[in-house]
């Protein structure tokens, strides 16, 4: 390959890079906002536990019967709904970052991603595979970006905390209704609060992991671009 072809190839590679640094900051910020939303939920759940279950029993009384909510329970619904909006925003920012990270890793490595693009979404929800696919996608993008580089510890910490939160049933993706969570706050408060703590810690660790992986990829891209510039100047 001639020097002119090398320069042309370098220019094409540069154009193929997706801007990932700002997206990484936004994704990390979104995770921290989600953590704050879960902290607010935790505070309200402590308030519910301290207040104690009303004499009328839990909000969901079975067989489709729901009693009227008291003011504290009603405010928990509002906090939970607001948190849901922030979590959705966090998910969109995280996925936007992850797609860009994967695209850049493909350009840097010259190899196709290990996981098909559909798993960037579906990997969070399909049973069993959701235990490792999302982490695997991040790890695959990191290794494609920084061959031989050491995976940031924060990635494993984030994923471990995420799994604990998810498997206890109060992770960011959970199955219980808000009224069922209220009942849990009354009957198993400390377990619920412990699970919330894992979710909040996972959000913080996730933000750190996003920044670490993004920084590593950006450093590799900049290094290649500087090398390409020096090569072009020497022609």
Domain ranges for the chain: 3-234
Of 149, 222, 179, 211, the residue nearest 59 (C-alpha): 179
User: Do 200 and 35 touch, CB atoms closer than 8 A?
Assistant: yes
Above pLDDT 90, what percent of the chain? 58
Distance CA 107, CA 18 (A): 10
What is the average per-residue pLDDT within 191-216?
A: 93
Residues β-bridged to residue 58: none
In the prediction, which pLDDT does 228 show?
63
- Tell me what the mean pLDDT of segment 111-117 comes to: 91
83 Cβ contact list (under 8 Å, min separation 6):
34, 37, 38, 40, 41
15 vs 72, more confident: 72
Say if residue 110's pLDDT is above 70. Answer: yes
Mean pLDDT of 98-114: 93
Query: What residues are paired with 60 via a beta bridge?
Result: 66
Q: What is the mean pLDDT of residues 71-92?
A: 94
């Amino acid at each position: 390959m001639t020097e002119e072809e090398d320069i042309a190839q370098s220019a094409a590679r540069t154009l193929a890079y997706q801007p990932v640094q700002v997206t990484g900051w936004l994704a990390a910020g979104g995770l921290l906002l989600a953590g704050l939303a879960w902290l607010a939920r935790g505070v309200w759940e402590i308030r519910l536990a301290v207040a104690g279950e009303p004499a009328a029993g839990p909000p969901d009384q079975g067989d489709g019967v729901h009693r009227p909510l008291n003011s504290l329970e009603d405010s928990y619904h509002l906090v939970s709904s607001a948190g849901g909006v922030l979590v959705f925003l966090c998910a969109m920012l995280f996925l936007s970052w992850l797609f860009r990270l994967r695209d850049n890793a493909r350009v840097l490595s010259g190899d196709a991603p290990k996981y098909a693009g559909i798993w960037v979404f579906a990997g969070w929800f399909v049973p069993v595979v959701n235990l490792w696919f999302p982490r695997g996608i991040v790890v695959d993008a990191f290794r494609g970006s920084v061959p031989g580089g050491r995976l940031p510890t924060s990635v494993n910490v984030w994923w471990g905390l995420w799994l604990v939160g998810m498997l206890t049933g109060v992770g960011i993706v959970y199955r219980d209704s808000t009224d069922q969570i209220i009942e849990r706050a009354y009957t198993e408060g400390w377990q619920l609060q412990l699970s919330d703590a894992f979710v909040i810690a996972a959000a913080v660790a996730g933000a750190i992991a996003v920044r670490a992986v993004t920084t590593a990829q950006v450093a590799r891209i900049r290094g290649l671009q500087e090398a390409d510039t020096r090569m072009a100047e020497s022609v």
